[in-house]
Amino acid sequence: MTTKTFVLEQEVSRPSLPLVGGKCSCGYVFFPMQTFGCEMCGRNGNELTPITLSGRGRVVSKAVVHIHADPKRPPPFAVAVVELEEGPQIRALLADPPSESAEPGDVVIARLFPSNHNESNSRLDVGFARDAPKEVTNG
């Protein structure tokens, strides 16, 4: 199974990749899950419990990176601040090439995507793409 087929199957069978966030007993919801401590109240350990987030959110801001040192992620690529529907604002990658990727204001969903579009064995990362029905062009 090639990488490309796997990604298309993700899109059709499950609309959004759930994300594992956390919830503090004070009520604060955050991502990613950690037990070091709540940044609102400082409670730690088992006062912080995992919570499944839908992976759905809205793009707050976006920046296209043109210069980057990591050969496994060649520029240009886009990064964003996404506000998840449960509240947390997180920094994340945008799944599509910069010219097609989501813009501020767009509703987005989390999905897997190749970190290097030019490599067939590329690692898969989690990123956000527009939550609009996409045409399945092949496969």
Partner 1 sequence: MAKRLSDLRPVYVIGIGWHRYQSLSDKPYVELGLKAIRDALSDASIEWSEVESSYVATARLGMAVGRPMLRHLGAHGRPLIHIENASASGSAAFRQACIEVGAGISDVVLAVGLDKPSAPVQRASAGVRGLADGAIVPFTSFALLTNEYARHNHIAPEDIALVAVKNHRNGATNVNAQRQQVRTLEEVLSGRPVSGTLTALQCTPVGEGAAAVIVASEDAIRRLGVDPSRVVRVAASAAASERGGSARADKELTQEVVAAVLDEANLSPTDLDIIELHDAFTIEELHYAEATGVCPEGQFIPRLKEGEFDIGGRCAISTSGGLIAFGHPIGPTGIGQVGELTLQLRGEAGVRQHKGAKVGLAHMVGVGAVCYGHILVRP
133 touches partner 1 (CB under 8 A): no
Measured from the CB atom, the residue of 4 and 91 that comes closer to partner 1 is 91
127 touches partner 1 (CB under 8 A): yes
Taking Cα atoms as reference points, which of 19, 26, 98 lies closest to residue 57?
19
Q: List, in order, residues 6 or more apart from 101 with CB less than 8 Å away.
A: 62, 78, 94, 95, 129
Collapse the DSSP code of 95 into the 3-class scheme (helix H, G, I; strand E, B; otherwise coil) and give the result.
coil
92 touches partner 1 (CB under 8 A): yes
Residue with tokens 């992620």: 73
47 touches partner 1 (CB under 8 A): no
- Count of residues near partner 1 by CB under 8 A: 34
Least Å distance, CB 138 to partner 1, is 28
79 touches partner 1 (CB under 8 A): yes
Measured from the CB atom, the residue of 40 and 132 that comes closer to partner 1 is 40
Q: Which stretch binds partner 1 (CB under 8 A): 5-13, 43-51, 71-79, 131-139?
A: 71-79
Q: What are phi and psi of 47, to 5 degrees?
A: -80, -10
- Residue ranges in the chain assigned as alpha helix (H): 3-13
Q: Determine if the peptide bond prior to 76 is cis (ω within 30°).
A: yes
Q: How many other CB atoms are found less than 10 A from the CB of residue 106?
A: 19
Q: Which stretch binds partner 1 (CB under 8 A): 1-9, 46-54, 57-65, 131-139?
A: 57-65
Q: Could you list the residues that contact partner 1 (CB under 8 A)?
A: 28, 31-32, 34, 36, 38-40, 60-70, 73, 77, 79-81, 83, 89-93, 104, 125-127
